[in-house]
């Protein structure tokens, strides 16, 4: 008699929330999407994704009532899954242009999606942005619900037009155990910084769960 190998547990579910507000021009949008795809394909990042049987989803967000999960939860079982997800990221068309920045609304919508992946040990929103929230609910008002659900919010802050923006994200956006904000001084730095940020998130989860 043979037995199937037990399925590996999902260590982390990452909601990748990409800013498409009016301050992001077409080239900057393309830099974000191609940079995110390249970051996922980084050897160390992809190994961590596969090793943790991670789940990924992609959201585009801008002003109030303009947030949408454009790629639903995808289990990363092997390198082919990483490549397929990355290809979808690059191919995803931009949904909106010329709208405001509603960070709290993006966090609130992200939160509802984690109910779909209760099997994952950690739930993380990986939000990128190049400006402070200026519409919709204040991000801090979502913190109690995020904390109650055990969701951590990390950020990649693009300071191209607003130096010092990282401090705002640190005080008003990120939350949860070990939450952090990384900085890309320009959009050109986004690809390198998102790879570094993803690796930090993924290897932290492995370290936390290591007996």
Question: How does pLDDT run across 145-200, given as a tens digit for each residue?
Answer: 999 999 999 999 988 777 889 999 999 999 998 899 999 888 888 888 989 999 99
DSSP secondary structure, 9-24, as one string: PP-EEEEEEEE-STTS
**Structure confidence at residue 204 (pLDDT):** 62
Q: Which residue has the higher pLDDT, 140 or 22?
A: 140
Work out the pLDDT band at 6, boundaries 50, 70, 90: very low
Does position 137 have pLDDT exceeding 50, yes or no?
yes
Does position 7 have pLDDT exceeding 60, yes or no?
no
- Closest listed residue to residue 103, CA positions, set 20, 7, 14: 20
Q: How many whole angstroms separate alpha carbon 160 and alpha carbon 130?
A: 7
- Residue 158, beta-bridge partner list: 184
Q: Label residue 151 exposed, middle or buried (CB < 10 Å: 0-12, 13-18, 19+).
A: buried
Q: What is the 3-state secondary structure of 89-123?
A: HHHCCCCCCCCCCCHHHHHHHHHHHHHHCCCCCEE
Q: How many whole angstroms separate alpha carbon 123 and alpha carbon 114?
A: 7
Convert the pLDDT of each residue in 32-90 to its tens digit. Answer: 889 999 999 999 999 999 999 999 999 999 988 899 999 999 999 999 999 999 999 99
């Amino acid at each position: 008699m043979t037995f199937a190998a037990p399925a590996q547990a999902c260590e982390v579910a990452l909601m990748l929330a990409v800013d498409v507000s009016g301050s992001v021009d077409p080239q900057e949008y393309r830099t974000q999407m191609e940079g995110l795809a390249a970051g996922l394909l980084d050897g160390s990042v992809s190994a961590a994704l596969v090793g943790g049987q991670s789940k990924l989803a992609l959201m585009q967000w801008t002003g109030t009532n303009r947030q949408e999960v454009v790629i639903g939860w995808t289990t990363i079982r092997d390198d082919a899954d990483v490549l397929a997800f990355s290809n979808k990221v690059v191919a995803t068309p931009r949904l909106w242009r010329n709208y405001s920045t509603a960070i709290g609304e993006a966090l609130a919508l992200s939160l509802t999606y984690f109910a779909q992946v209760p099997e994952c040990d950690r739930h993380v929103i990986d939000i990128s942005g190049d400006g402070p929230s200026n519409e919709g609910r204040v991000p801090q008002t979502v913190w109690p619900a995020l904390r109650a659900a055990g969701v951590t919010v990390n950020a990649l802050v693009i300071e191209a037009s607003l130096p010092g923006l990282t401090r705002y994200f640190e005080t008003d956006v990120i939350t949860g155990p070990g939450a952090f904000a990384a900085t890309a001084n320009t959009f050109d730095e986004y690809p390198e910084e998102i790879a570094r940020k993803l690796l930090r998130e993924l290897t932290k989860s492995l370290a936390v769960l290591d007996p």
